[in-house]
């Protein structure tokens, strides 16, 4: 399958995320027919605009329910707020873009892109953190009318296009959140 535009890349990653989320929730070790179906339906629907991504309000509600811990390492000490998409790069100064981070992760990540920073540490982001990131990335790309832009011609985005995952690890290697949820 060929991915040529910003929208296709973000939709593909978001559809894979839905596939992964479904597998984790169903506690399956591998992706099965149900999950592949979820991915292909959502990908087609998002590209045709007959389906849409979930609202960021869901992630905000979740932020209030999840244990208050650093979203990168799970520490509960010295927490402050971090802009998931750094404001220095053009990320918004709004609640949707704010996550908890400990002092150590915050100063190490600094103005780095969260996905690049995690990749450097050989870490695949927790699914629910990646979900927020992808929703923000899609929102920003829509606002800037870049969803149909060829990947090579999309400049100045505040997130890293090259760090958007196109393939996802097996469900057994994925985490929903940085700390265990009951």
Q: Is 79 in the site for Zn ion (CB under 5 A)?
A: no
Q: How far is CA 38 from CA 91, 97, 157, 166, in A?
A: 30, 27, 28, 16
Nearer to Zn ion, 100 or 159 (CB): 100
Q: Is 70 in the site for Zn ion (CB under 5 A)?
A: yes
The whole-angstrom separation of Cα 96 and Cα 154 is 23
The whole-angstrom separation of Cα 111 and Cα 85 is 8
Among 6, 17, 42, 102, binds Zn ion (CB under 5 A): 102
Residue identified by tokens 């969803």 is: 147
Structural tokens at position 73: 């390492």
Size of the site for Zn ion (CB under 5 A): 6
Among 28, 47, 75, 163, binds Zn ion (CB under 5 A): 75
The whole-angstrom separation of Cα 159 and Cα 18 is 21
Q: Is 105 in the site for Zn ion (CB under 5 A)?
A: yes
Nearer to Zn ion, 12 or 117 (CB): 117
Nearer to Zn ion, 47 or 108 (CB): 108
Choices 22-30, 85-93, 100-108, 137-145; region in contact with Zn ion by CB under 5 A: 100-108
Nearer to Zn ion, 39 or 83 (CB): 83
Q: Is 72 in the site for Zn ion (CB under 5 A)?
A: yes
Eight-class DSSP state of 5:
B
Q: How many residues does the chain have?
A: 182
The whole-angstrom separation of Cα 42 and Cα 29 is 22
Would you tell me which residues interact with Zn ion (CB under 5 A)? 70, 72-73, 75, 102, 105
């Amino acid at each position: 399958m060929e991915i040529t535009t910003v929208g296709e890349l973000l939709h593909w990653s978001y559809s894979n995320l839905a596939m992964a989320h479904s597998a984790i929730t169903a506690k399956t070790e591998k992706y099965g027919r149900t999950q592949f179906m979820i991915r292909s339906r959502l990908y087609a629907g998002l590209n045709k605009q007959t389906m849409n991504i979930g609202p960021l309000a869901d992630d905000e509600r979740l932020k209030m329910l999840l244990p208050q811990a650093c979203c990168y390492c799970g520490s509960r000490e010295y927490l402050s707020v971090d802009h998931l998409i750094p404001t220095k790069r053009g990320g918004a100064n709004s609640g949707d873009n704010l996550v908890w981070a400990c002092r150590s992760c915050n100063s190490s990540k600094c103005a780095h892109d969260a996905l690049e920073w995690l990749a450097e540490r050989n870490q695949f982001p927790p699914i629910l953190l990646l979900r927020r990131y992808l929703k923000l990335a899609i929102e920003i790309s829509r606002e800037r009318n870049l969803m149909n832009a060829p990947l090579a011609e999309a400049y100045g985005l505040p997130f890293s296009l090259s760090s958007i995952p196109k393939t996802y690890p097996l469900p057994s290697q994925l985490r929903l959140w940085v700390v265990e949820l009951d």
